[in-house]
């Protein structure tokens, strides 16, 4: 059985849930029903670093959300699947578009709706404050909670294990 680092070395695609992973899971609405979300800027930089290193990033969310679509556009993520009641189907579509195997994909989730993807990827990850029912199905649980740097933690780990972090750091230090 491969350990977490061995699995992480082969990752070419990171798939993220949104509510509870890229956000803290809270939903804010004003009186007109307009939705507001808060995203962690460090998670955003981590995503940009992955992209710069050649690792694709995709998003699958059970909810449709204009703020999420806008944020993903800002981050240059073109594989955005919102309003997905069947995340497993979305996963299969993404794999086909990217041209990688399920073993070359990682997924970060936080709740039961993520299990169809967590069960298919090469590296299954739960955020620190994930629903405990998914923990038996993951390879790793982050130290940080969703919306508070968990995605950056995953990005940094993938870059470190794949030997790409030092060059990226140097590109900022130059």
Q: Where are the domains of the chain?
A: 4-173
- Which range in 8-12, 30-34, 167-171 is most confidently predicted, on average pLDDT? 8-12
Element (H, E) at 163: none
Q: Token pair of 159, please? A: 């870059």
Which of the four pLDDT bands, split at 50, 70 and 90, describes residue 1?
Answer: low
Classify domain 4-173 at the CATH class level: alpha beta
Dump pLDDT digits (tens) for 12-58.
999 999 999 999 999 899 999 999 999 999 999 999 999 999 999 99
Element (H, E) at 155: helix 150-161
Q: Token pair of 79, please? A: 């594989």
Q: Is the dihedral of CA 111, 41, 90, 50 positive or negative?
A: negative
Which of the four pLDDT bands, split at 50, 70 and 90, describes residue 172?
Answer: confident
Q: Report the alpha-carbon distance of residue 131 to residue 63 in Å, rounded.
A: 18
Closest C-alpha to 84, from 117, 51, 55, 122: 117
pLDDT at 163 over 70: yes
pLDDT at 112 over 80: yes
């Amino acid at each position: 059985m491969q350990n977490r680092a061995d699995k992480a070395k082969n990752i070419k695609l990171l798939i993220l849930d949104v509510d509870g992973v890229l956000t803290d899971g809270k939903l804010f609405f004003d009186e007109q029903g307009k939705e507001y979300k808060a995203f962690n800027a460090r998670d955003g930089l981590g995503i940009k670093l992955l992209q710069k290193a050649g690792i694709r990033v995709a998003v699958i969310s059970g909810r449709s959300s204009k703020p999420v679509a806008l944020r993903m556009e800002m981050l240059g993520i073109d594989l955005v699947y919102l309003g997905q009641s069947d995340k497993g189907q979305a996963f299969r579509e993404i794999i086909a578009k990217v041209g990688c195997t399920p073993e070359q994909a990682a997924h970060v989730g936080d709740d039961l709706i993520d299990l169809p993807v967590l069960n298919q990827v090469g590296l299954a990850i739960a955020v620190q404050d994930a629903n405990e029912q998914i923990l038996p199905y993951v390879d790793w649980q982050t130290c940080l909670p969703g919306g508070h740097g968990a995605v950056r933690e995953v990005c940094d780990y993938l870059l470190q294990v794949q030997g790409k972090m030092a060059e990226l750091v140097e590109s900022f230090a130059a």
